[in-house]
Amino acid sequence: SQKIEQNSEALNIQEGKTATLTCNYTNYSPAYLQWYRQDPGRGPVFLLLIRENEKEKRKERLKVTFDTTLKQSLFHITASQPADSATYLCAHYSSASKIIFGSGTRLSIRP
Amino acid sequence: GAVVSQHPSWVICKSGTSVKIECRSLDFQATTMFWYRQFPKQSLMLMATSNEGSKATYEQGVEKDKFLINHASLTLSTLTVTSAHPEDSSFYICSAREGTPKSYEQYFGPGTRLTVT
């Protein structure tokens, strides 16, 4: 079955460093991958979408890569700030055009 | 940007009662709406997909008679948790997608925290 996984449940890094989160997929080839941010008690907020024919996409301090050989997407936050602390979810569109989420990585940026 | 609202933002109810949660798209027409459930420290799990004017499609393991979904208009979908039990306590999130064929973006509501006592 199609699976999308975020192997790191939590990630703690020092302010100013680059945070790198990983999303792996198995048993299928998604045409798109998406990344969302979710704060406690709130709904997810869309950040970036990357297509399979795009190697990299950027938005301000965010960068997403898509490696179809490794079946992996990396999500980077450069010059991280405590305000970046949140849970980050990768997601894909299933064959039925439904968004399916990975388990999420809880990112904590310490001052 | 597109905004999706949910009401109420939180609700406490007694076991055995029913609770209705509303999801509205405020500035666009949503031909498709989705309902998710999220337990603490877990990811969002899709419960059902509803298209305006037709019956909802439920994911495997979700009881359609317990979680009634109505998508009567292009801006409103409701989820009714019938005969709620403490194990139904969760964070319920809706999302909506515009009807344009090229639209892949879904917009998420802020969620509704349901506590069943």
Would you place residue B41 in the very low, low, confident or very high pLDDT band (cuts 50, 70, 90)?
Answer: confident
Residues of A in contact with B105 (CB under 8 A): 46, 49
Task: Please tell me if residue A44 touches chain B, with a CB cutoff of 8 Å.
Answer: yes
Mean pLDDT of A34-62: 93
- In the block, which residue shows the tokens 């299933």? A94
Average pLDDT of every residue of chain A: 91
Lowest-confidence region among A101-110, B38-47, B98-107: B98-107
Residues of B in contact with A104 (CB under 8 A): 43
Give residue-wise pLDDT tens across range A57-103: 999 999 999 998 999 999 999 999 999 999 999 998 776 678 889 99
Mutate to test the interface with A, among B3, B26, B104 (most CBs of A within 10 A): B104
Look at residue A52 in the predicted model and tell me its pLDDT. 87
Question: Does the distance separating the beta carbons of A41 and B95 come in below 8 Å?
Answer: no
Cα–Cα separations (whole angstroms), residue B34 to A81, A97, A108, B12, B100? 32, 11, 29, 23, 16
Instruction: Report the residue of B5, B102, B108, B115 to disrupt the A interface, i.e. the one with the largest count of A CBs within 10 Å.
Output: B108
Q: Which chain A residues contact residue B42 at CB under 8 A?
A: 103
Q: pLDDT tens-digit profile of B4-32? A: 999 999 999 999 999 999 999 998 888 88
Q: Which residues contact A30 (CB under 8 A, 6 or more apart)?
A: A4, A52, A92, A93
Q: What pLDDT was estimated at residue B53?
A: 81
Mutation site for A-interface testing, chosen from B4, B9, B32, B43 by largest number of A Cβ within 10 Å? B43
Which of A15-19, B54-58, B69-73 reaches the highest mean pLDDT?
A15-19
C-alpha B116/C-alpha B94 separation (Å) is: 19
| pLDDT tens per residue across span B58-113 | 999 999 999 999 988 889 999 999 999 999 999 999 999 886 655 567 889 999 99
pLDDT band at A28; cut points 50, 70, 90: confident
pLDDT at B99: 66
* B 58-117 residues inside an 8 A Cβ radius of A: 91, 93, 95, 104-111, 113
Q: Is the pLDDT of residue B1 over 80?
A: no
- How many beta-carbon pairs below 8 A join chains A and B? 43
State the Cα–Cα distance between residues B99 and A14, nearest whole angstrom: 43
